[in-house]
Structure 1
Amino acid sequence: MNYPVLGGLLAISFLVAVYKIQFLIIYPSSLVPGSRTDVDTPSSYDMKYTEETVYAKDGVSLKVFVIPSTDPAAKKTILMFGPNAGNMGLSLPIAHIIHKAGYNVVLMDYRGYGKSSGSPSEKGLKLDAEAVIRFIKLESSLANTQLYLYGRSLGGAVTIYCATNLPQDWIAGAILENTFLSINKCVPSVLPAVGFLSPLVTQTWKSEDLITKIRPEMPILFLGGGKDEIIPPSHFKKLYELCTSQKKQMCIYPEGTHNDTVVQTGYFKDLLGFLST
């Protein structure tokens, strides 16, 4: 038996397995039962909306809800980037509160999520976000409004990417909730048993590098749970320190965990207060 060859084949197989498994862990688009087939709509919350299909540069079709404000003079639009599980229908309770406050709201499903086509990846999600923002700024009835990006967890990384890579006059401000420095630095916390594999992860989402490129005049609101059990609060706090915005704010909710920060006392007061100014 040729042991060096066998060892090489086993090593290659291991690397291939790690490469494939990372996508299932980082982008569990089917984790919530029915999330690929059952997408709640704004009409469930008595909100009028249109459902749009937007195409990314590589041809992937993305499903988008556009929920116009009841105030025709509304000048701000909030584009919500969701976390890594579920679909945009699960963000409707949050969208409803923002909409009631008088804002236009746009929701989207990343590729491989909800009824959008394709398979998720870092490169793909970046293309998705760019496509929807271009749709808002160039094609939709919301083109002349101020666009604010609101990203939760993985959506925060998407937000940071867009805020630093798209035309500066397109993005008026950003809201980041419970997001991370990078995927590589999350692995030891989320999956301690395989933390040693973090250098092999190729879906990196290096927000800690990009956030140093935020333009100084862009308003940024950081929202975080003090008891986040998935993303260490130290990630969130370090991003705030690294952020180059001169108009940054941070709100920590001491009892908030990763998925319930949004229901902590004062959360929406802080969020809507930021948007109103």
Structure 2
Amino acid sequence: MNGLSVSELCCLFCCPPCPGRIAAKLAFLPPEPTYALLPEPEPAPGAGAAPSGSLRASGAAPGRWKLQLSERADFQYGQRELDAMEVFLTKSSRGNRVACMYVRCAPGARYTLLFSHGNAVDLGQMSSFYVGLGSRLGCNIFSYDYSGYGASSGRPSEKNLYADIDAAWQALRTRYGISPDSVVLYGQSIGTVPTVDLAARYECAAVVLHSPLTSGMRVAFPDTKKTYCFDAFPNIEKVSRISSPVLVIHGTEDEVIDFSHGLALYERCPKAVEPLWVEGAGHNDVELYSQYLERLRRLLSHDLQAQR
């Protein structure tokens, strides 16, 4: 979430535009793309394997895509890990092209995380993190870029966020045949917005809300007590409709989205599991603390087994 001056905020909310414009001003900072999706050419009849070249995803076949990472993606692994990735494009109900990435970290894994990333990053920048997270948790990772991010078309907006995750959910289920009870919806920061919206409509194995916000107004004006009709990202009004187990993770020294947001959402979740409050952590370093991986492992190995 980027900061605005007091005068700009007063202008926004005293004479409010539509919620989508509030959302765009408060939240969306798409970076310059750190990757490209290139159509995979159909091999000539009788031709052998394609020669090695730029970094690319495996499983290339007619009608599929290859992943080309720029140096700014800062990929920390090698060709073996790239070969475990599949990238493709799908379309949202609002007509935007949505870039998707499936990272096969653990073949035969019980769970797949549908990961909605934070602001100011794209799939290229997140790819190393996904490989490391999935490998350490023993699960696969499926992610996507929001409209206007990475190789996804369109412009970032609240409505597009909801359509983007719907398209990703449908692609994960139909393309890979993964049932809802094997999907863990994971949202980080702004990614908790589409995650909460989807989780309020579909049951899944579990939901992880990492540094979540209650609503846009409550981030901009911490003393806000009610949800106004022009408020953006009203997680606080939807989270009580989530019927799946919910794990809330938040740093106690979060300088972007105050810790009180995570606490408020935790208290509203009907099936909340033990939360993780990371003492001393801010907004962008929670995953650097050892408790982070430990708590996620316990969610998958213990909490979800107890729910079955």
What TM-score, normalized by structure 2, do the two folds share?
0.72
2:46 aligned residue: none
Q: Map residues 104-115 of structure 1 onto 2, 5 A cutoff.
A: 104-115=140-151
CA contact 1:111–1:119 (8 Å) conserved in 2: yes
Q: Secondary structure at the match of 1:150?
A: strand
The amino acid of 1:28's aligned partner reads L
Distance 1:186 1:105 in 2: 29
The Cα shift of 1:89 comes to: 2.5
Note if 1:86 corresponds to 2:114: no
Whether contact under 8 Å (2:143, 2:168) holds in the other structure is: no
Structure 1 equivalent of residue 286 of structure 2: 261
1:25 counterpart = 2:26:
yes
Structure 1 stretches of 4+ moved >3 Å = 14-22, 33-46, 141-145, 198-203
Taking a change above 3 Å as real, the CA distance of residues 199 and 256 of structure 1, as seen in their structure-2 partners, is: same
* 1:184/1:201 contact within 8 Å kept: no
1:236-258 deviation digits (Å, cap 9, x = unpaired): 1011111111x522011111000
Ranges in structure 2 where 5+ consecutive residues have no aligned partner: 1-10, 37-69, 303-308
In structure 1, distance between residues paired with 2:248 and 2:19: 32
Cα–Cα, structure 1 residues 136 and 41, in superposed 2: closer, same or farther, change >3 Å?
A: farther
How does the TM-score come out when normalised to structure 1?
A: 0.80
Using a 3 Å threshold, how does the CA distance of structure 1 residues 147 and 21 change in structure 2: closer, same or farther? closer
Tell me, what secondary structure is at the counterpart of 2:142? Answer: strand
- What is the match of residue 6 of structure 1? none
1:40-55 pair list within 5 angstroms: 40=73, 44=77, 46-47=80-81, 48-55=84-91
* Cα distance in 2 for residues equivalent to 1:21 and 1:237: 24
Do the aligned partners of 2:181 and 2:205 also contact (CA within 8 Å) in 1?
A: no
More helix by percentage: 1
Which sections of structure 1, spanning at least 5 residues, go unmatched?
1-9, 190-194
Cα distance in 2 for residues equivalent to 1:17 and 1:81:
24
Q: Which residue of 2 aligns with 1:3?
A: none
Q: How many residues align?
A: 251
Identity of aligned residues (%): 22
Within 2, Cα distance between the matches of 1:125 and 1:118? 11
Q: Equivalent residue of 2:131, what SS?
A: helix
Mapped pair 1:180 → 2:181: no
Structure 1 residue 138: deviation in Å? Answer: 2.1
Distance 1:68 1:19, change over 3 A: closer
Superposed counterparts of 1:152-231, under 5 Å: 152-166=188-202, 168=203, 171-188=204-221, 202=230, 204-215=232-243, 218-231=244-257
Distance 1:75 1:220, change over 3 A: same
Looking at structure 2, the residues matched to 18 and 238 of structure 1 have their Cα atoms a distance apart, in angstroms, of 22
Contact 1:261 1:267 in 2 (8 A): yes
